[in-house]
Amino acid sequence: MSSPFRSFSSLFSTTLIMVLGAGLLTTYLALSLARDGVEQLWIGGMMSAYYFGLVVGSKVGHRLIARVGHIRTFVASAGIVTASALGHALTDVLEIWLILRLIVGTGMMCQYMVLESWLNEQAESNQRGTVFAGYMIVSYLGMVGGQTVLSLFPELGLEPLLLVGICYALCIVPIALTRRIHPQPLHPAPLKILTFWRKVPQSLTTILIAGGISGSFYGLAPAFAAGTGLSNAEVATFMSATILAGLLAQWPMGKLSDRIPRSRLLRVNSALLGVLVLTISLVPISGWLLLLATFFFGILAFTLYPLATALANQNIEQTERVALSATILLTFGIGATLGPLVASFLMQLLGNSMLYLYMAVCCFILFLRLTRVNYNQKTAKKLLAQQQSSDYQLASGDLVSSPLGAALDPRVDEELVQQQMRDEPLAEQQTTSTIVDDKGDIESPAVSTSTDLNASDTADDTVPLQPKDN
């Protein structure tokens, strides 16, 4: 059996180059706007536009792939994203930048859908976990690589934008030349938002808030770090340390969630993250302490989403998982769209430290919500168990409550039992029987209305029950 990394090398190479360009573009735009003194609200708006584009792309991508196929969809999306990324070099009008970010988000979601659906369809069952673990590792490495490349251009000229365009152009090559079998077209996944909010409220609440935290961090953390006096190269190191921590935490947290209830891990995670970001917002730290703090931030913040997703999937049926994935994607996109807007407004109004104070409030709300839902679920289970125990009553067995029980009693006339089991009406049970004597005379009729227990006790012969003839 070939290695999954070798089997999907073309898709992994495409993912690495694409995500490298995406990470480089996101941080470059945030630092460029902060350098030019643009209001924080615009910086947050750029990130919100990108995530809103991801939500739009989740619908556009399904239809596009179903219409023209995976490779054509990827090539067309990559071309649009390349043109949109390079368009930032042609104008400084912020409204146009917002539109460009929206287009980039839409195109990248189509690319993500091509890659992930391709991997999902053609990965063997016994290699699926390894394949998607490799996909996540490659994605994180691409994001870290984008921050590292940016540190080589402290002046933030046009060179980073040119590299972004090169990355988006080159990511087409591996997937266009792949020899893998073309996957089947996608079909739109149904959305059942209210249904899943009732079934898995802890998971979707966590995903919504995790989206707000992640979107705020990627869009506004570079501006926050630059506001603390870090150079552009140090900001790139700051971002790289956070993303690298998220990568390193995935496997240990996954193993831990197999031993400890995921709902409990989410509460502990949100509480620790809340304390950490509150400390960052209130205590002026810098240097290696700031790097250490953001490293732990990456461990806690970037494991909320996978923990919540795993918790949701363990509480629904297999047939509902496609609809659940669509709902999770939409929920995360909504959180990531709204989060940067709220955080940037607070930063513009009260200062850069409001970014982490906003995250602390989100964590506090999440912890309260998780605690309350968990308490309500436990209370409901206890009440249900008590109700079931109090409603339990002793019942007679089938033989006791059916006519067959009488057939087992030696005191009962078997002929009467046979009539009852044939569902004959009582009037037929009380029919007049004629008795013919040895001489052929007909005696007076006798009506059988009751069972003569004493006569039955002395009877030696028994007549087996026979099924009723049709």
Shared-domain flag, residues 251 and 304? yes
| Tokens linked to 336 | 């990531």
pLDDT for the residue 121: 75
* Angle made by CA atoms 226, 228, 233, in degrees to the nearest 5: 40
Q: Is residue 459 part of a domain?
A: no
Phi-psi label, residue 68: left if phi above 0, alpha if psi -120 to 50, beta otherwise: alpha
Residues in Cβ contact with 76 at an 8 Å cutoff, skipping those fewer than 6 apart:
64, 68
* Same-domain check for residues 224 and 170: no
- The reply to whether 408 falls in a domain is no
Residues 16 and 140 in one domain: yes
- The 10 Å Cβ neighbour count of residue 13 is 17
Using CA atoms of 84, 86, 91, 94 in order, give the dihedral in degrees to the nearest 10.
Answer: 50
- Is there a domain that residue 429 lies in? no
CA distances from 337 to 45, 62, 328, 334 (A): 8, 21, 14, 5
Distance from C-alpha of 396 to C-alpha of 209, rounded to nearest angstrom: 55
Q: At what angle do helices 40-68 and 201-227 cross, to 10 degrees?
A: 130
pLDDT at 5: 65
End residue of a domain, out of 116, 148, 182: 182
Domain boundary at 141, 163, 182, which?
182
Chain Cα centroid distance, residue 87? 35
Q: First CA to last CA across the chain, in angstroms?
A: 65
Residue 109 belongs to what H/E stretch? Answer: helix 94-122
**CATH number of the domain bearing residue 261:** 1.20.1250.20
Same domain, 167 and 266: no
Taking CA atoms, 323 is separated from 91, 191, 326, 421, 433, in Å, by 41, 6, 5, 52, 71
Check residue 391 and give its pLDDT.
52
Asked whether residue 115 falls in the same domain as residue 9, the answer is: yes
Q: Are residues 214 and 121 in the same domain?
A: no
* Residue 463 located in a structural domain: no
Is 231 among the domain residues?
yes
Establish if 455 belongs to a structural domain: no
- Domain of 351, in residue numbers: 189-383
Going by C-alpha positions, the residue among 16, 18, 38, 25 that lies closest to residue 100 is 25
Q: Is the pTM of this model over 0.85?
A: no
Whether 464 is covered by a domain: the verdict is no
Q: Are residues 199 and 156 both part of a single domain?
A: no
Q: Quick one: which H or E segment has residue 442?
A: none
User: How many domains does the chain divide into?
Assistant: 2
- Domain C-terminal end among 348, 368, 383: 383
Nearest 5°: phi and psi at 338?
-80, -35
pLDDT of 415? 62
- Asked if residue 216 and residue 154 are part of one domain, the reply reads no
Same-domain check for residues 370 and 242: yes
pLDDT by 10s per residue, the chain, length 470: 456 667 688 889 999 999 999 999 998 998 888 888 888 889 899 999 999 999 898 888 888 888 888 889 999 999 999 999 999 999 889 999 999 999 999 999 999 988 888 887 776 766 666 777 788 888 889 999 998 888 888 888 889 999 999 999 999 999 888 877 777 766 666 677 888 888 889 999 999 999 999 999 998 999 898 888 888 889 989 999 999 998 898 888 888 888 888 889 999 999 999 999 999 999 888 888 999 999 999 999 999 988 888 888 888 887 777 678 778 888 998 999 999 999 999 998 888 889 999 999 999 999 999 999 888 888 888 887 777 655 544 444 444 444 444 444 555 555 655 555 555 444 444 444 444 444 444 444 444 444 343 344 434 443 333 444 44
- Of 339, 394, 351, whose CA–CA distance to 213 is shortest? 339
Residue 219 falls inside a structural domain: yes
Same domain for 155 and 280?
A: no
173 and 221, same domain (yes or no): no
Q: Are both 23 and 119 inside the same structural domain? A: yes
